[in-house]
């Protein structure tokens, strides 16, 4: 959890944050203002992993180390500001691939120490959860409490977002995350990495009713998810065609469309349970890389309409890992700390591969 102690730098309502994100395979830097203005953002989507068909943690960490310095310089130049204009430095401190988290957070701490600025350690999941609160990101102003469906390659959770640092996990995946299932099925179909976007594109060419695939946990109580059985069902389906060197494109498209329909159907069923479990939510939001899937978004929108809930999803570039969400989370935390007469400097925070949201409630404890 973040440590809270006195710092020479006071929080205010006119903050400019330099932020770094390095939890997986995207190296990102941004400069964000407390009114939601993004002065600059740079991102390097690592190509080093393509030949391996997935993220290799050690390679990701080395790539972050290679690109971060240049990325920060480019971000400062793009924003056309000087270090004297920066109020704090923020970075992801977890959860994520520990090598990348170490590189990004230590680099950010070095910048903060060199410039005598406070360092704010950010929970990556909390940053996703708060992205929808960035001013002007949608037509709806997002107030607490709201229901968040977080879905990515590493996470799949229903979260009741009550306030900054106050999160109630309603349910999550008991095996694979949705993004992981998308990527693995895409690989079975011979699609390039990253598989999720490639599978979504192929599915547009297919008939989603061609194959009847399982919808794990569908109709059961609770808000947990399970996708490994669905992934296995696709693998079993493909054994019939294992003697074919390359699947006919129409067949692959039909499988992709059928898989996408099945996983979306399962998600919507579990998400409907989450809506019923959080009746005081002001709206339904989604975030994370899989939230960029337009087919899934359409069905979540329909579910929100059914319950007369506004639906908010970040622009596609802020669904995937990015530094803007890290900077905005830092702003939210600093403003909340100021209300509690606290000043935050997390320079002693250790990077973490796992960091449950349940621990965030301790941030503002006396």
Q: Is 321 within any annotated ligand binding site?
A: yes
Looking at per-residue confidence, does 225 or 49 come out higher? 225
**What pLDDT shows up at residue 362?**
52
- Count Cβ neighbours within 10 Å for each residue of 105-114 and write b for 16 or more, e otherwise: bebbbebbee
96 is in an annotated binding site: no
Task: Answer whether residue 7 shows pLDDT above 80.
Answer: no
8 is in an annotated binding site: no
Question: Is 151 annotated as belonging to a binding site?
Answer: yes
Asked whether residue 196 is marked as a ligand-binding residue, the answer is yes
Give pLDDT tens digits for 122-172: 999 999 999 999 998 888 889 999 999 999 988 899 999 999 999 999 999
Please report how many Cα atoms fall inside a 13 Å half-sphere around the Cα of residue 61, on the Cβ side.
12
The first and second tokens of residue 364, run together, are 């503002």
Q: Which residues of 210-238 are buried (b: 16+ CB within 10 A; e: fewer)?
A: ebebebbbeeeeebbbbbebbbebbeeeb
Q: What digits encode the pLDDT tens for the residues 29-81?
A: 999 999 999 999 999 988 888 888 889 999 999 999 999 999 999 999 999 99
Domains recognised in the chain with CATH numbers: 16-132+319-362 (3.30.420.40), 142-313 (3.30.420.40)
Tens-place pLDDT, residues 285-328: 999 999 999 999 999 999 999 999 999 999 999 999 999 999 99
Is 130 labelled a binding residue? no
35 in a labelled binding site: no
Q: What is the pTM of this model?
A: 0.92
**Residue 183 is assigned to a ligand binding site:** yes
């Amino acid at each position: 959890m973040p440590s809270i102690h006195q710092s020479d730098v006071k929080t205010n309502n006119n903050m400019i944050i330099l932020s770094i994100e390095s939890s997986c395979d995207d190296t990102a830097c941004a400069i964000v203002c407390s009114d939601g203005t993004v002065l600059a953002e740079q991102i390097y989507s690592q190509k080093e992993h393509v030949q391996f068909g997935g993220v290799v943690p050690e390679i990701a960490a080395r790539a972050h180390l290679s690109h971060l310095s240049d990325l920060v310089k480019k971000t400062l130049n793009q924003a056309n500001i000087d270090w004297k204009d920066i109020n704090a430095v923020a970075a992801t401190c977890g959860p994520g691939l520990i090598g990348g988290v170490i590189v990004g957070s230590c680099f950010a701490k070095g910048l903060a120490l060199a410039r005598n600025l406070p360092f704010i350690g950010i929970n990556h999941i909390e940053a996703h959860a708060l992205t929808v609160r960035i001013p002007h990101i949608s037509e709806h102003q997002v107030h607490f409490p709201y229901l968040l469906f977080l879905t990515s390659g590493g996470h799949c959770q229903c979260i009741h977002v009550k306030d900054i640092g106050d999160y109630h996990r309603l349910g999550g995946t008991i095996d694979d995350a949705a993004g992981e299932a998308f990527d693995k099925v895409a690989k079975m179909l011979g699609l390039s990495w990253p598989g999720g976007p490639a599978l979504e594109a192929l599915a547009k060419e297919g008939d989603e009713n061609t194959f009847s695939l399982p919808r794990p946990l569908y109709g059961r109580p609770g808000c947990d998810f399970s996708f490994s059985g669905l992934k296995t069902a696709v693998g079993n389906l493909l054994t019939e065609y294992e003697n074919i060197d390359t699947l006919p494109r129409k067949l692959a498209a039909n499988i992709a469309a059928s898989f996408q329909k099945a996983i979306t159907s399962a998600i919507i069923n579990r998400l409907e349970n989450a809506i019923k479990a959080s009746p005081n939510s002001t709206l339904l939001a989604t975030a994370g890389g899989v939230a960029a899937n337009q087919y899934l978004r359409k069905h979540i929108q329909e579910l929100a309409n059914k319950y007369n809930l506004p639906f908010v999803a970040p622009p596609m570039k802020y669904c995937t890992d990015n530094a803007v969400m890290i900077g905005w989370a830092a702003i939210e935390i600093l403003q909340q700390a100021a209300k509690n007469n606290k000043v935050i400097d997390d320079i002693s925070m250790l990077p973490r591969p796992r960091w449950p949201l349940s621990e965030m409630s301790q941030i503002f404890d006396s």
